[in-house]
A and B are shown apart, each in its own frame.
Chain A
Amino acid sequence: MTSATRRTKRILLAGAAGIVLASTSSLAGPQDNTLVFGQSQSITDIGPAYNAFLQYPSGYEASFVIYDRLVTFDDQLRFNPQLAESWTIADDQKSVTFKLRAGATFHDGTPINAEAIKFNIERMMDPEINTTNRPLWDPIAGADAVDDLTVRISTHEPFALLFNTLAHGSGAILSPTAIMENGQESETQNPVGSGPYKVESFNPGLELVLAPHEGYWAGKPPLDKVIFRYVPEAATRVSALRSGDVDVIDGVPTHLIAQIESDDGLQVLTSPSLRPMGLAMQTTVPPLDNVDVRRALNHAIPVDAIAEKLFLGQAKASNSPLAFNTVGYHGNEPYSYDPDKAREMLAAAGLTDSDGNGIVEQDGTDLVFTLLVPEGVFANDVLIAETAAAALQDVGVGIEIRKIERSSFWDTLRLPVAEAGWQIGMFGFNPSNASGLYHLDSMYTSNPDNVGRPAVWNITRYSNPEVDALLAQATVTVDGDARAAILAEAQDMIWNDAPYIWLQVNNIISATRADLDGVEVWPVIFTVVRGGAY
């Protein structure tokens, strides 16, 4: 059975279970000492390998509670020790030696030692097992157990982002005993980690129930239960929070913030995001292969108005391929909203409206693009698509919106060019290891096969050898300032080549009960409930 059919089966089963569960009342709030997180996306896989924590970002959010990593981020994305107590970087910068915390155990009682770390690192290096997140793991050469509580991780070249990789969700440390006994793929449904809460029951696509890990190295966790529940509709999530059915929600629409803030028992948590939104253009498809056409389309969209009116100020127009708070961010000159200029640029590129129907022609036929958009994946996704469609039509570019079901959205984005069926698609990459280099590398490094499936997330098929060279150079540049200078140069080039119609960077907005402490909203769009307590 392929993983896709298995997933479909799981979702169907979850749907059936949902009908039963929906009718039962549940635990929540301080009286039950239970934290219920109403999530905007469902969880179907909770292991770091084999597709890594589906769906997105819900699976990652669960992983930060179930698993420990060697190091972790705080809500400002600084590195903090977790399973590692301390570390030393080798002089040649090609290895780091970690001293592990003594006395930590997995949920199944297996002690966490250097062998367990080595097992996990080697497992994630294997492309057969770790099928995604390859740019994070390919630079790693191996791991050695120096003694029982000391492990050395080495890289092929000096690897600037080693800590980002280890703090990333895919750096989760799993019990080797459980993997050996239950099989490699058991992690996706029945994982054994060492985080403060362990899996009690899992209904894929619906609900994940966690119980405290009594042997947790930092002492007994404060909550009796942590429950992740899928609540797809934003308005329903807010109602559930107000009625006390859930204690934490993510994906709060901007127009409902005031409603939550007016309730003394609730609080809104926001964080600027690292995910810049945009409309990806297929740069191999004429006339989008012409950089002037792509720039013209960038002048046609009123991004400031979108940020102000649709996001009520909870967003800012982008001025770089990276978000403002990403490490390595470098601002550029924004594309001004200027429809007249856009029309002139299109005309200069040979796209004019000669039959007077308001749409420019390309080789005698009306130029109409299909704009792919999901519903409920990105904040205000359909509304932004409608705004963009109207604005592009205003400068003479026909747009047909193709709204697509959220479960098939990510795959449709990555289809080979000939099968894609869209020329413009809404997308925003979230650098989940907080690195601008990883972000640019994933989105803009040339694909080996530029008409097939993109190797990572270069869905525009953007290809600029100078950018490729700069990103390759940045990967082996360990000095932060020098790396930032290289990334700035790459950002300038990408910004000017405009493979995207750049849109906004919007805040991540979550909300919790006011008496719940310790919930963090990370700029990498994750709402992390690991430290939650009443």
Chain B
Amino acid sequence: MSAASQRFALIAVRCVFAAKWLRQNVYLAVGTVIILAFLIAAVFGEQIAPYGANKQNLLNSLEGPSEAHWLGTDPLGRDLLSRVVVGTRHTLSVAVISVTLSCFLGVILGLISGFVRGHLATAVDAIVDVALTIPNMILAISIAAVMGAGLTGLIIAISISFTPPISRIVRGRVLEIREEDFILAARTIGVRPWRILLRHVLPNAATVIVIEASLQAGQAVLTATALGFLGLGVQPPTPEWGTLLGYGREYLHSAPFMVIAPGLAISLMVLGFNLLGDGLRDLLDPRVGN
């Protein structure tokens, strides 16, 4: 066999493997592509957007989708595509920051209640139990209403309302791990508890945390835009998706493209995070049959 055909065979085999991997992990692949695209829009929003997000032109108000304005214009003649693209940064950063914060808090609380035990753990359990009885959305609305419209309020509201479920999931996993033989072995040879926690328990719980975080990110997008829709998001003229959707509602009959643009963006981002989460679970979680 010639060197050229050997190389060709190798490439073919690789392609087959890549295709097989991709087929098995199609969720992960599609989710990653969607989120990467949004990430690029979030970082380079102003450069990508065809017009300034707040550039008004009253002469072009409420124009339907056209070659010049792919998703149409709003009542002030602002390009909806540009507003949606520039608005990506806001929604994505709210989702990522608040999920990171809630994971951080949730992991600490979960580790305490799952591993430490004692009065502190009982107290944490009780608080988490109570918090879990309040629906996420209601908790977030109440916190946002007290904090007022703005980025900080939004992030705090979502972080706090998302912490209890994460803490509960981490606790469950920790309770499993602490009964494993290798933990017993570590204890027997006198490894300090905090070292066991950091070196053995946490790495083993990391998988569920990562999967839960990516799924929660989708929820965070929905909560953030819902708060924006209710007028608790950001101050105008910031192009936030939920706020755009809220304004568009009044024009549902006369200019439906006002809600289609931000609505599509929200759906797509939630889909991206959910696919990513599902894909990660398929890939990482040994309990899911592959």
Tell me, in angstroms, the Cα distance from A403 to B76 when the chains sit together. 17
Q: Which residues of A contact B18 (CB under 8 A)?
A: none
Q: Is B116 an interface residue (CB 8 A)?
A: no
Tell me, in angstroms, the Cα distance from A234 to B76 when the chains sit together. 19
Tell me, in angstroms, the Cα distance from A302 to B61 when the chains sit together. 15
Q: Are B75 and A310 in contact (CB under 8 A)?
A: yes
Q: Is A533 an interface residue (CB 8 A)?
A: no
Q: Are A309 and B231 in contact (CB under 8 A)?
A: no
With A305-B58, A387-B58, A402-B235 already in contact, 6 other A-B pairs whose C-beta atoms are closer than 8 Å: A235-B249, A255-B251, A259-B254, A310-B61, A383-B75, A383-B76
For B234-248 the 0/1 string (1 means CB < 8 A from A) is: 011100000000010
Shortest CB–CB separation between residue A160 and chain B, in angstroms? Answer: 42
Q: Are A235 and B252 in contact (CB under 8 A)?
A: yes
Shortest CB–CB separation between residue B151 and chain A, in angstroms? Answer: 14
B interface residues, Cβ below 8 angstroms from A: 54, 56, 58-59, 61-62, 75-76, 149, 231, 235-237, 247, 249-255
Shortest CB–CB separation between residue B50 and chain A, in angstroms? Answer: 18
Q: Which residues of A contact B247 (CB under 8 A)?
A: 382
The majority secondary structure among interface residues of chain A is helix
Q: Is A233 an interface residue (CB 8 A)?
A: yes
Tell me, in angstroms, the Cα distance from A234 to B59 when the chains sit together. 24
Q: Which residues of B contact A390 (CB under 8 A)?
A: 54, 56, 76, 237
Tell me, in angstroms, the Cα distance from A478 to B236 when the chains sit together. 48
Tell me, in angstroms, the Cα distance from A521 to B226 when the chains sit together. 36
Tell me, in angstroms, the Cα distance from A109 to B160 when the chains sit together. 59
Q: Is A291 an interface residue (CB 8 A)?
A: no
Find the B residue at minimum CB distance from A383.
Answer: B75
Give the contact-size bracket for chain A: 20 to 34
Could you name 21 residue pairs across A and B whose Cβ atoms are closer than 8 Å? A234-B250, A235-B249, A235-B253, A253-B250, A255-B62, A255-B255, A256-B250, A305-B58, A306-B58, A309-B58, A382-B236, A383-B76, A387-B58, A390-B54, A390-B56, A390-B76, A401-B237, A402-B235, A403-B149, A403-B236, A405-B231
Q: With contacts A389-B237, A400-B235, A401-B235 known, is A258 near B56, CB below 8 A? A: no
Q: Are B237 and A375 in contact (CB under 8 A)?
A: no
Q: Which residues of A contact B231 (CB under 8 A)?
A: 375, 403, 405
Q: Which residues of A contact B54 (CB under 8 A)?
A: 390
Tell me, in angstroms, the Cα distance from A309 to B75 when the chains sit together. 8
Find the B residue at minimum CB distance from A390.
Answer: B56
Tell me, in angstroms, the Cα distance from A387 to B56 when the chains sit together. 8
Q: Which residues of A contact B251 (CB under 8 A)?
A: 235, 255
Q: Is A386 an interface residue (CB 8 A)?
A: yes
Shortest CB–CB separation between residue A17 and chain B, in angstroms? Answer: 19
Q: Is A246 an interface residue (CB 8 A)?
A: no
Partner of A386, one of B59, B237, B250, B253: B237
Tell me, in angstroms, the Cα distance from A334 to B250 when the chains sit together. 32
For A386-418 the 0/1 string (1 means CB < 8 A from B) is: 110110000000001111010000000000000
Find the A residue at minimum CB distance from B247.
Answer: A382
Find the A residue at minimum CB distance from B254.
Answer: A255
Q: Are B236 and A401 in contact (CB under 8 A)?
A: yes
Q: Which residues of B contact A387 (CB under 8 A)?
A: 56, 58, 76
Q: With contacts A309-B59, A386-B76 known, is A258 near B254, CB below 8 A? A: yes
Q: Is A385 an interface residue (CB 8 A)?
A: yes
Partner of B254, one of A233, A256, A385, A403: A256
For A252-274 the 0/1 string (1 means CB < 8 A from B) is: 01011011000000000000000
Q: Which residues of B contact A234 (CB under 8 A)?
A: 250
Partner of A385, one of B56, B236, B252: B236
Partner of B250, one of A235, A385, A400, A403: A235
Q: Which residues of A contact B76 (CB under 8 A)?
A: 310, 383, 386-387, 390
Tell me, in angstroms, the Cα distance from A322 to B231 when the chains sit together. 33
Tell me, in angstroms, the Cα distance from A235 to B251 when the chains sit together. 8
Shortest CB–CB separation between residue A53 and chain B, in angstroms? Answer: 26
Tell me, in angstroms, the Cα distance from A483 to B220 when the chains sit together. 62
Tell me, in angstroms, the Cα distance from A235 to B247 when the chains sit together. 11
Find the A residue at minimum CB distance from B249.
Answer: A235
Q: Which residues of B contact A389 (CB under 8 A)?
A: 236-237
Find the B residue at minimum CB distance from A376.
Answer: B231
Shortest CB–CB separation between residue A279 and chain B, in angstroms? Answer: 15
Q: Which residues of B contact A309 (CB under 8 A)?
A: 58-59, 61, 75
Q: Are A403 and B235 in contact (CB under 8 A)?
A: yes
Q: Which residues of B contact A400 (CB under 8 A)?
A: 235
Shortest CB–CB separation between residue B56 and chain A, in angstroms? Answer: 5
